[in-house]
Amino acid sequence: MAKKAKVFIDGEHGTTGLKIRERLAERTDIEVLSIPHEERRNDEFRAKLLNEADIAVLCLPDDASRQAVAMLEESGNDTTRVIDTSTAHRTAPNWVFGFAELTAGQEAAIASARFVSNPGCYSTGAIALLRPLIDAGVMAPGHPISINAVSGYSGGGKTLIAQMEDASHAEHIGANHFLYALSMAHKHLPEIVSRAGLKRAPIFTPNVGRFAQGMLVNIPLHLDLLITSPKVDYVREILAKHYQGAKFVKVASQEECKSLVRVDAEEMVGNDEMKLYVFGDDANTQVNLVASLDNLGKGASGAAIQNLDIMIAG
């Protein structure tokens, strides 16, 4: 019988950690090392489980994720592998970016990596749309880009969930929709620039709606300002070719894109897949690229499980 992989979720009581814990509960090929809620701030207990694990999944704020990695280094541990769901290591040179569909060799890199950084939810959609166009030579890395996105409020963790759902909360948010990151310095921008292969930071406009889960990321482009002035269908073909055979990324057909009158931000809730759409009109040389995903699925816990399975199998 094959040895079960020991997995420790450091931060299993947070939003992403809870989802990962639920997903692993019925798995028979994995032994989950769990920390009691009352011991979650006990660094000695955490360090013990981190060192016992074959793979540690960090579902922590950035500083706490860095601390967890430091704990392994301080103990001389060079065997525990790490998946970090925070933003702490997403552009670090010694960490593999955990978006298996990024390039042809990305899944193999994840399979053999010791350190894997889970992508952010917004950046998963943006990178999925942009990287293939840059790699195909259709879009210049320095092309001016605007990214518009809306997420379910669960992406803000327990604090935002409470603010949106509890009317008695001291900082209750009554709005049905709001724009944030008004300084235009959202924490996902560095990884979007780095992993999409950009040389100019996009103008990124994130929004939150009064729905728990789901996400749309859309990028409008003027086709005649791109390098090859491509047609709408050719842009879709580039994406379709890039993600051909991918299990968790699907590209909507030309027929589906032309038949739709709207895209629901909650359409992928409970699904680990991300769906990409290409809408546009050759007559006005415009295209709107749209990524639809569950911000807690392919945008968080689903991606972490995907990376975990690749690492175990690798």
Q: Which residues are catalytic?
A: 121
* Other Cβ atoms closer than 10 A to 103: 17
Residue of 264, 265, 257, 227 whose CA lies nearest to 239: 257
CA distance 141 to 144: 9
CA distance 308 to 110: 9
CA distance 71 to 45: 11
CA distance 11 to 4: 21
Q: Where are the beta strands (DSSP E) in the chain?
A: 5-10, 30-33, 55-58, 81-84, 96-97, 115-117, 146-152, 177-179, 203-209, 215-222, 249-251, 274-281, 286-293
